[in-house]
Chain A
Amino acid sequence: MAVESINPQLCNGCGICVLSCPADVLRMDKTKNNAIVLYPEDCVVCCWCVAECPTDAISLTPNLTARIFTTWG
C-alpha cells in the first residue's frame, strides 16, 4: 500500500498534498500546475495527502510495497 497516482483531471493544483507529505514524495509539476508522485519509493504510507486532498484526486495502490533488499544499493 502506498500512494500510487494523482488524477490530473481532478487535481486543482492547490499543492496542499505536497506540503502535507512528510517524506517529500509529492511535488508540483510547475509546467502543468498539477501535483505529481515524483518519489513513490519513499512513500511512508501515512496517507495524509489522501486525507487532505480537496478533490479526492489521489489514489492508493492496494498492494503492500516494500523495497527489495539487495547486496548493495
Chain B
Amino acid sequence: METIWEQRQIKCDVLVVGGGIAGCFAAIKAREKGASVLLIDKGYVGKSGQSPYAGSFMVFNPAWGHDLQAWMDLVNRTSEYVNNRAWTELTITGSYERYLDLLQWGVRFAGNSKDEPTRFPGPSGVTEQLRFEEDKHGDYVQVLRRQVRKSGAQILDRIMLTELLRANNCVVGGIGLSVDDPVLYVFAASATVLCVGACGYKPVAYPPIVQLTGDGEAMAYRAGAEVLGKEFVDTHISRRDIPVGIPNMLGRKHPVPAALVGLDGPKRGRKLNNAEGNSLSPRPDGSSKYSFTYLETEFEVHAGRAPIYTDAPDGEREMVGGACLGMSLRKADGLWPADLHGRSTLSGLFAAGDALGTMQNGSAYALTGSAIANGAVTGALAGAAAAEEALSIGQVHIPEEEISRATHYVRGPIERRGGFSPQWVTQLLQNTLMPYFISYIKRADRLELALSMVLYYQEQLAPKILARDLHQLRLAHETRNMLLSAEMRLRSGLFRTESRGNHFREDFPSRHDPEWLAWTKIGQKDGKMELSRIRIPGAWHPDLSIPYFERYPYRFPGETNADC
C-alpha cells in the first residue's frame, strides 16, 4: 500500500539535533542569545542517548584546590599525546560555569549543600568529579528538558533528522522523519547544531549506545563535512550469562524492580582474571584504573587465555566482549572542529557533545566525568555561536530541487517493493565487525577483508533496504548510517600505521612519534572517502628526549622501540 505523506515546513533560526546534555545546553544558550530554537530528537528529549546513563560530572574549580597543570599533564600523558589540548583545557576550565548553570536549573548533586557538594576522587587520584543525586535513572536530563521548555525553545520528540539540506554549499536545515505518522518535516534553519550521539552498531549488550547509529557524522559527511578520530575504540565487556548490566545502570536510588534483580553487569574497577587464574596486567601509575578502558582483555583473549572472569561477590562471572561494539573512545570521533566554538568545516553546521570530534581525551580515557562535562561545555559554546551566526545571516531559502532530492532519499526504503530488512543488514554488519580480531586487535589484511565486505553491503545491499512501515524506515536509515560509520572506522584503523592508546595494530605494535603525533581526518574527494594526516602542533608533542619506554609506560604485545 502506498504511503500518503504529509510535508510540514518549520522555520527557525537554530535547529538543534539530539536532546542529551549537549543538545539541551545548545538550545538553552541559543535562546539566551535571542534566536528562535527548535530541538528535535529521534527518541524523547531527556530520555534518549547516553546522557541518562551518566553518573558523574567532572568539575574543575581552583577554589577547591584544583591544579590545571596537573589535570592537563594527566590527560596529555594518558591520551598518549594525541589529545587536542585546546579542547581538553576548554572542557576542564569551562566545567565550573556549566555546573553553576545546572545548579541554578535545579539539578541536584550528591553532598550536604549547594556550596559544598561531595567531591569524589577520579580513579587517577589527580582529578575530582561530582555525582548526580537522583531518585530515578536520568532525572537530571528531565530537569534539562524542563529548562529547555522554560527557555522558550520548541521541542519535537520522535523525529529522526535524516538528511541535511544544502544551498550554495551551506547547510540550511534538514529533513526529518516521524516514527509515528507519515509526515516529513522540512526544517529551514540558518544554523544547525548536531548534538547527536556517536556510533554503536546496536550490540544487544550495552544499553547506552544501542540507539547511537552515527546519524550525525553520516549525514554531515554526505553533506561535505569532515570527521576525525574513528580509529580509537572503547572497550567494555559484559557477563556471558546475561547480555547487559541492567540495575547498576538504571539503579541510582530507584528500587530495583523484581524482574531485574540479579541482572547486574560487571562493576567498574573490579579485578579481572584470565583463564589461568592470573590477574590482568596492571596499569601504569597515574592512568585510569577503570576496567575496560584499555585493551587488556582483548590481548588476553588473543593469546588464548579466555575466558576472562571477574571476581564478583556472588561467584566468578565469565565476561565476553562486544558490549560496546562501535563505541568510540569518549569524545574522540565526530565532526572535525573548524574553531573552538563548535563550527564544522561546513558553513551553517555546528556540532557539540559526541557529535564533535574534540579529541579531548586523545587515545585513552583519563578524565572521569569529562564526557558529560564536555557535552555541557561544547553544547553551550556551539549553541551561542550558532545563534549569533543565525541572527547575522537572517532567513535561509531551501531550493525546491534540494528538498526533492532529500525527500527521495528519505522515502526510498519504504517505496521499494522488495529487498532486504534493515535488521538483517545490521546483523551482517555486526557479524563482520564484532570479532575481537577485527575491531580491537587489528591487522591490515583483516581490516581490508572487513572493509571489502562493508563496501559490498554499502554498494549492493544499502540501496535495496526495504522498510515496511515507519518503524522500519527509521531502522533503514540507521543501518545506512552505520554502514558509512563502519567504513570510516575500518579505513581509519588501516590508515594509522602504529599503535597508540586504544588503537592497536598487530602489524605495527608500537607508537611511532615521528609520523603519528597526528590526527586522522576523513573527508570526500570525487565522491570517495579520503583520509589525511593532520599533524599535532609541535608545542603539544611529548619530550622526545625521554626514552620511548619511559615516555609510554603502557605496553603493547610485541612492542619494540618504534622511534628507531
- Interface residues, chain A, with chain B CB atoms under 8 Å away: 1, 19-20, 22-24, 38-39, 41-42, 44-48, 50-53, 56, 58-60, 64, 66-67, 69-70, 72-73
Q: List 29 A-B contacts (CB under 8 A).
A: A19-B43, A20-B47, A22-B211, A24-B179, A39-B471, A41-B423, A42-B475, A44-B202, A44-B210, A45-B207, A46-B244, A46-B246, A46-B249, A47-B207, A47-B246, A50-B259, A51-B136, A51-B137, A51-B254, A51-B260, A52-B136, A56-B257, A56-B258, A58-B259, A60-B259, A64-B243, A67-B423, A72-B420, A72-B424
Query: A58: which B residues are within 8 A, CB to CB?
Result: 259
From known contacts A24-B474, A46-B244, A72-B420, infer whether A51 and B427 are also in contact, taking CB-CB under 8 Å. no
Question: Max chain B CB contacts within 10 Å: which of A38, A41, A73?
Answer: A73
Complex: A42 Cα to B427 Cα, angstroms: 12
By the criterion CB–CB under 8 Å, are B244 and A47 in contact? yes
Query: How far is A46 from B260 in the complex, measured between Cα atoms in Å?
Result: 10
Q: Given A47-B244, A47-B246, verify A22-B207 contact (CB < 8 Å).
A: yes
Cβ-neighbour of A23 out of B205, B211, B424 (below 8 A): B211
**CB neighbours of A56 from chain B (8 A):** 257-259
* Residue ID in chain A nearest B258 by CB atoms: A56
Interface residues of B in 9-45 (CB under 8 A from A): 43-44
Query: How far does the alpha carbon of A45 sit from the alpha carbon of B205 in the complex, in Å?
Result: 8
Contact of B157 with A by CB under 8 A: yes
Rounded to whole angstroms, the CA-CA distance of A72 and B43 in the bound complex is 29
Task: Report A66 CB to chain B, min CB distance, Å.
Answer: 8
- Say whether, besides A51-B257, A60-B259, A45 and B421 are in contact (CB < 8 Å): no
**A19–B207 CB distance below 8 A:** no
Query: CA separation between A20 and B250, bound complex, in Å?
Result: 12
Q: A24-B179, A48-B137 are in contact. Are A1 and B242 (CB under 8 A)?
A: yes
Asked if A20 meets B44 with Cβ closer than 8 Å, knowing A73-B420, A73-B424, the reply is yes
- Which chain B residues lie closer than 8 Å to A24 at the CB level? 179, 471, 474
Q: Which residues of A contact B254 (CB under 8 A)?
A: 51
- How distant is the Cα of A73 from the Cα of B43 in the complex, in angstroms? 26
The docked-state distance in angstroms from the alpha carbon of A16 to that of B177 is 21
Q: Number of B residues whose C-beta is below 8 Å from A?
A: 36
From the candidates A19, A50, A70, name the one contacting B44 in the complex (CB within 8 A).
Answer: A19
In the complex, whether B168 has a CB less than 8 A from a CB of chain A is: no
Q: Is the CB of B263 within 8 A of A47?
A: yes
Once bound together, how far apart are the Cα atoms of A51 and B261, in whole Å? Answer: 11
- Mask, B144-163, CB within 8 Å of A = 1, is 00000000000001000000
Q: Is B404 an interface residue when CB atoms closer than 8 A count as contact?
A: no
User: Within 8 Å of chain A (Cβ to Cβ): is B84?
Assistant: no
Which A residues are CB-close (under 8 A) to B338? none
Q: In the assembly, what is the distance between CA of A22 and CA of B47, in Å?
A: 8
Complex: how many Å from CA A73 to CA B418? 11
A55: min CB distance to chain B, Å: 11
B window 400-428: CB within 8 A of A? 420-421, 423-424, 427
Instruction: Establish whether residues A45 and B471, one from each chain, have CB atoms under 8 Å apart when the complex forms.
Output: no
Query: CA of A56 to CA of B202 in the docked complex: distance in angstroms?
Result: 26
Closest to A16 in B: B47
Residues of B within 8 A of A64 (CB): 243
**B 95-128 contacts with A by CB, 8 A:** none
Question: A1 to chain B: which residues have CB within 8 Å?
Answer: 242-243
Would you give the shortest CB distance from B492 to chain A, in whole angstroms?
A: 26
| B contact residues around A48 at 8 Å (CB) | 47, 137, 207, 250
- Residues of chain A within 8 A (CB-CB) of B258 are 56
Residue of A nearest to B461 (CB): A72
Q: Which residues of B contact A67 (CB under 8 A)?
A: 423, 427
Q: Is the CB of A47 within 8 A of B260?
A: yes
- Least Cβ–Cβ distance between A41 and chain B, in angstroms: 7
C-alpha spacing A52/B136, complex, angstroms:
9
Given contacts A22-B210, A47-B260, A48-B207, is CB(A42)–CB(B423) below 8 Å?
Answer: yes
- Distance of A46 Cα from B246 Cα, bound (Å): 7
Are B423 and A22 in contact, CB atoms less than 8 angstroms apart? Answer: no
- A-side contacts of B43, CB under 8 Å: 19, 22
Chain B contacts of A69 at CB under 8 A?
A: 427, 431
B48 interface residue (CB < 8 Å to A)? yes
The chain A residue with its CB closest to the CB of B242 is A1
B529 within 8 Å of A (CB atoms):
no
Q: A22-B211, A24-B179 are in contact. Are A50 and B423 (CB under 8 A)?
A: no
B474, closest chain A residue (CB):
A24
B204 at the interface (CB under 8 A from A): yes
Please name the residue on chain B nearest to A73 by beta carbon.
B424
- The residues of A that contact B136 with a CB separation of less than 8 Å are 51-52
Q: How far is the CA of A37 from the CA of B235 in the complex (A)?
A: 32
Residues in A with CB closer than 8 Å to B475 are 42
List B301-329 residues whose CB lies under 8 Å from chain A.
Answer: none
Residues of B within 8 A of A45 (CB): 204-205, 207, 243-244, 246
Residue of A nearest to B470 (CB): A24
Chain A residues positioned under 8 Å from B210 (CB to CB): 22-23, 44, 46
The 0/1 profile, CB within 8 Å of A marked 1, for residues 232-266 of chain B is 00000000001110100110001011111001000
**Can you name the residue of chain B whose Cβ is closest to the Cβ of A3?**
B259
Asked if A47 and B250 sit within 8 Å, CB to CB, the answer is yes
Which of A1, A41, A44 has the most C-beta atoms of chain B within 10 angstroms of its own C-beta?
Answer: A44
